[in-house]
Amino acid sequence: MKKKETACVISQEELAADIYSLRLRVSFAEEVKAGQFLSLFSADGMRLLPRPISVCETDPANGAVRVVYRIAGQGTREFSRLKAGDMISVMGPLGNGFPLEELKGKRVLMIGGGIGIPPMLFLGRTLKATGNTGCAFAAGYRTSDTYLLEELRETARVLVATDDGSLGVHGTVLDAVREAGYHADVICACGPRPMLKAVKGFAEEEGIPAYISLEERMACGLGVCLGCVTPTRETDSHSNVRNARVCTDGPVFNAREVEL
């Protein structure tokens, strides 16, 4: 059940250049699933639309959630100035997460590119807690100025790729996977659309299913405005065209269902 409420900031820290980790106290921490997101609202009346940010971690015992985000504009820059004790309007949990029942007992390759890495950490910790073994992360960064890398390593095997070759494999996350010779039963991924398109093709080559979390500009987060539709193979029952709403039908989709 999604809720809109005023959350209290527990803490915030800068993990890398313009990358921030924000912990919030909310009433719905226990309900959040890996792959879901929150909408965070600006206190500035000139910025009416919320900013959608994937959940990186939950701490139900303490009623807390953690989001990790990149400063991308004035809204997220405002969030970066929050400190412990500040209040912010939040709505969540939103969207559909990864299909945990279908992942149970499987070797899962979790691929994250850029700011798509935080939700993969949440998924990895969830799988580890439910007994999945043999899983791995493939994390793609621009440079060696990384974030969450040690936390990923505490959770599963990690394969790293960087755009400039300063850490790990010089190339893409799939280059890192191929170089390591890692084979999975299923892939879960979040990141830029070109990366997800490549992941979809790789999964088809391997003959395994892939679940991808799409990054889109979401205006309402509730499926009303139709501002975040993505092309699909099948007709959507809501709009009667070959589109799906990323905010409510996703953000996680079976890769076979969407056109990239």
Residues 201 and 104 in one domain: yes
> For the chain, what is the domain count?
2
Percent of the chain with pLDDT over 70: 97
**pLDDT higher than threshold 80 for residue 112:** yes
Pick from 175, 167, 135, 169: nearest CA to 153 = 135
Average pLDDT over residues 34-59: 93
CATH for 132: 3.40.50.80
Q: How many DSSP H helices and E strands does the chain contain?
A: 6, 15
Token readout for 122 is 């949440």
Model confidence band, residue 165 (pLDDT cutoffs 50, 70, 90)? very high
Instruction: Choose the final residue of a domain: 61, 94, 127.
Output: 94
Q: What is the DSSP string of 179-243?
A: HHT---SEEEEES-HHHHHHHHHHHHHHT--EEEE-----SSSSSSS-TTEEEBSS--TTTSSSE
Residue 227 forms part of a structural domain: no
**pLDDT higher than threshold 70 for residue 60:** yes
| More reliable by pLDDT, 215 or 35 | 35
Q: What is the pLDDT of residues 79-100, one digit of tens each?
A: 999 999 999 999 999 999 999 9
Model confidence band, residue 229 (pLDDT cutoffs 50, 70, 90)? confident
**CA pair distance 138, 158, nearest whole angstrom:** 6
pTM, two decimals, is: 0.93
Residues 178 and 118 in one domain: yes
CATH for 46: 2.40.30.10
Model confidence band, residue 176 (pLDDT cutoffs 50, 70, 90)? very high
Instruction: Choose the final residue of a domain: 94, 110, 129.
Output: 94
Token pair 């003959």 in the structure block, residue: 207
**CA pair distance 158, 121, nearest whole angstrom:** 11
Residues spanned by the domain of 51: 3-94
Q: What is the pLDDT of residues 180-198, one digit of tens each?
A: 999 999 999 999 999 999 9
Residues 108 and 158 in one domain: yes
Residue 259: per-residue pLDDT: 83
Mean pLDDT of the chain: 93
